[in-house]
Copies of this chain bind each other. A is one copy, B any other.
């Protein structure tokens, strides 16, 4: 992605997204962001009232692009079973692409304070949409929640062990479970 020609605001969001996801939210300082985004400090605060506001934008953008990617991956399939399996393929691809850093919403959840409702609600919205995604595919709510749980656990497990092992196992299980 060519940053040079993008407007400052986009550069900030892009750089921050990389850094927040790879090193964590608290471990990433404003200074590092503006330096790598080649933006003056005051310009940063012109666009974002605070670091937390940047975090919100980061999550919103991620929410959008992540689901776009997911839908792009699954839309070519028609059968529910195939759609579900390609959701797990998407997971594997993202793990490779992003170095097994897991779910950036859950990572953020680990770092925020319990009273931070603004960020928490974005995280909740994201997970609720994921649940609805599976409900839409599968139809039956309880089964959809089981797949959702597999999905969440696979995401976590691949972050813990930095492998796709459990995802592969789970795809096999799904092949047997869903007729």
Query: A residues touching B (Cβ–Cβ < 8 Å)?
Result: 22-24, 26-27, 99-102, 106-114, 123-124, 127, 142, 145-146, 148-154, 156-157, 159-161, 166, 169-170, 173
Contacts and interface: CB of A to CB of B under 8 A. Distances in A.
Given A110-B111, A149-B153, 13 more contacts: A24-B112, A24-B113, A26-B26, A26-B27, A101-B114, A127-B161, A145-B169, A148-B153, A149-B154, A149-B157, A152-B156, A153-B156, A156-B156
Contacts of A160: 106, 109, 123-124, 127
A24 B26 contact: yes
Given A22-B114, A26-B27, A111-B27, A166 B154 contact: no
A161 B124 contact: yes
